[in-house]
Amino acid sequence: MEYNRSEFLIETVVPEDELIISRTDLQGIITYVNETFAAISGYTSEELIGKPHNVIRHPDMPSAVFKDLWQTLQAGKKWGGYVKNMRSDTGFYWVYAEVSAVYKEGELVEYKSIRTPIRSEEKLEYQKRYDAMRREAGERERIVKYM
């Protein structure tokens, strides 16, 4: 993936009145996205379905956040957190994501996620927090430093 494109710095703002929804199988492979998810991520639903959900992972996200997500789900609990995602054109968008289990007749069948917009102060706060987390974990530093 080429990150040194000008689109990398461009934010897509998530509309207040729309939810971004996706579902995955138990391995994190996308099984469903709504139209808003496709529009915001810059992919078509056909391109997304069947792909691992990390297709939209942004390099600014510390791996500890997703480790916590999966541990929480595997413990049978609902997870909520701030996520910076990467669009198909390498632009980005911030959301607050809630991820939880989908049961059918008492059996765990899928996971679902519903995302809502966050305030610009929260984006700034979490960008700094995630930059620090990656630095402490020895993960890559923020990519814009190298551009």
Contact footprint for ligand FMN (CB under 6 A): 22, 24, 28, 53-54, 56-57, 61, 63, 66, 69, 83, 85, 97, 99, 111-113
For residues 7 and 65, which CB has a smaller minimum distance to ligand FMN in the complex?
A: 65
Among residues 55, 12, 16, 13, the alpha carbon closest in space to that of 33 is found at 55
Among residues 70, 89, 90, 92, the alpha carbon closest in space to that of 81 is found at 70
| 12: Cβ contacts below 8 Å, ≥ 6 apart | 40, 42, 87, 91, 92, 93
For residues 78 and 135, which CB has a smaller minimum distance to ligand FMN in the complex?
A: 78
Least Å distance between CB 37 and ligand FMN? Answer: 9
Least Å distance between CB 80 and ligand FMN? Answer: 12
Among residues 29, 83, 36, 25, the alpha carbon closest in space to that of 54 is found at 29
Least Å distance between CB 100 and ligand FMN? Answer: 8
Tokens standing for residue 133: 């987390």
DSSP E strands in the chain: the ranges are 20-24, 30-33, 79-86, 92-104, 107-116
d(CA 68, CA 54): 15
For residues 6 and 63, which CB has a smaller minimum distance to ligand FMN in the complex?
A: 63
Least Å distance between CB 4 and ligand FMN? Answer: 21
Least Å distance between CB 99 and ligand FMN? Answer: 5
For residues 85 and 90, which CB has a smaller minimum distance to ligand FMN in the complex?
A: 85
Question: Looking at residue 54, what DSSP letter applies?
Answer: G
For residues 57 and 142, which CB has a smaller minimum distance to ligand FMN in the complex?
A: 57
